Amino acid sequence: MDLSSIMDSEEPQDDLRPTGKPGGFGRFYLQELVNSGGMAEIWVATDTEKQTVAVRRLHRALRFNLLARRRFLSGCKILSQIHNHERVIGYIEHGKIDMIPYLVMDYVESSNLKLLMARNDSVLAENVAQILIDMALALEHVHDSGFMHLDFKPENILITRNAGLRLIDFDLAQKKPDRPKKMSRNPGTPAYMSPEQLRREEFDHRVDIFAFGVAAYEVLTSQKPFAGDTPQSILNQQLDEHPVPPRQLNGNIPKALEKIILKYIRRDPDKRYPNMSILVRDLESALYI
């Protein structure tokens, strides 16, 4: 099975280097570029009332890319519907300035979870149990609101210095189907995608549960359960190999938590948790929270 096009053949291929310097952007003053990803960049900014906000704007090179614009706008609209939760980044407004779509969010002084893991940050070490619970609560809220995130990974989880958590980036999110459904497009991050996604089969919200399991495994062991350089090699491991039990990599993980994590990442979606509410309940029980 050729998975070379797993990231959607319509993915933008433009030059995605940062597209501006600090300065004016409509009624906002962009002060500092804090992140630049595959489709957009995020700035710390102030508005005309001197309020500090985060401005996310589409890369200028993609302003005429219909797919990128559609995904960016979809993410804005979904966030506007589900942001009323303490574990989801706050929405303020979205629109266009000089033909460039933008999103204004609450500014949260934070680092993403991937960076915290890379530098073995004490915030993560001292609060790992609560961070895992908050990750689950954020995803539970997304599902209860009728959506799948479809790009749940450490890069999309912000952690503040006092261990507060915010889930971000809903560009790939879609409505949660009543039953498994084959999607017309299949974007995502292969390392966190389930076997049914990688094989382009029908799927539902349980792919987010799989992604949560991969992220939780990674947080606790500092490695992914299914490593690989290509979508095909990741899928081969998912189908042919059993992941190393987390306690072999980190003896401090409770046995009950190890059992739960391995259930998250079962190759058969029917053997995973059916929903996030049951997952949250068992996770809280295993972590004594």
145: CATH: 1.10.510.10
Nearest CA to 213 out of 198, 200, 194, 196 is that of 194
258 and 201: one domain? yes
Examine residue 98 and state whether it is found in any structural domain, yes or no: yes
CA 99, CA 153: separation in Å to the nearest integer?
A: 30
**The domain boundary residue, chosen from 65, 90, 106:** 106
CA 192, CA 114: separation in Å to the nearest integer?
A: 13
Token pair 């589900």 is at which residue? 82
114 and 245: one domain? yes
Examine residue 278 and state whether it is found in any structural domain, yes or no: yes
CB distance 101 to 55 below 8 Å:
no
The separation between CA 40 and the C-alpha centre of its own chain, rounded to angstroms, equals: 15
64 and 204: one domain? no
CB distance 54 to 13 below 8 Å:
no
* Enclosing H/E stretch for 126: helix 122-144
151 and 204: one domain? yes
67 and 86: one domain? yes
Examine residue 4 and state whether it is found in any structural domain, yes or no: no
CB distance 150 to 174 below 8 Å:
yes
77 and 119: one domain? no
Examine residue 124 and state whether it is found in any structural domain, yes or no: yes
Residue 97: CATH number of its domain: 3.30.200.20
Phi, psi of 267 (to 5 degrees): -65, -30
**The domain boundary residue, chosen from 44, 74, 106:** 106
Nearest CA to 233 out of 184, 279, 198 is that of 198
Angle between helix 206-221 and helix 276-286 axes, rounded to 10 deg:
20
183 and 46: one domain? no
Expressed as residue numbers, the domain containing 63 is: 23-106
Taking only the tens of pLDDT, the chain with its 289 residues reads 334 333 443 444 444 455 568 999 999 999 999 989 889 999 999 999 999 999 999 999 999 999 999 999 999 999 999 999 999 999 999 999 999 999 999 999 999 999 999 999 999 999 999 999 999 999 999 999 999 999 999 999 999 999 999 999 999 999 999 999 998 777 789 999 999 999 999 999 999 999 999 999 999 999 999 988 899 999 999 998 789 999 999 999 999 999 999 999 999 999 999 999 999 999 999 998 6
Beta 91-97 vs 100-106: how paired, if at all? antiparallel
CA 57, CA 106: separation in Å to the nearest integer?
A: 14
81 and 124: one domain? no
31 and 143: one domain? no
184 and 208: one domain? yes
CB distance 210 to 194 below 8 Å:
yes
Nearest CA to 12 out of 55, 66, 83 is that of 66
Examine residue 12 and state whether it is found in any structural domain, yes or no: no
**The domain boundary residue, chosen from 72, 106, 140:** 106
> Domain count of the chain?
2
Token pair 């998912």 is at which residue? 238
Helix (H, G, I), strand (E, B) or coil at 98: coil
114 and 101: one domain? no
CB distance 188 to 171 below 8 Å:
no
149 and 116: one domain? yes
* The amino acid at 58: L
* pTM of the model as a whole: 0.91
Examine residue 2 and state whether it is found in any structural domain, yes or no: no
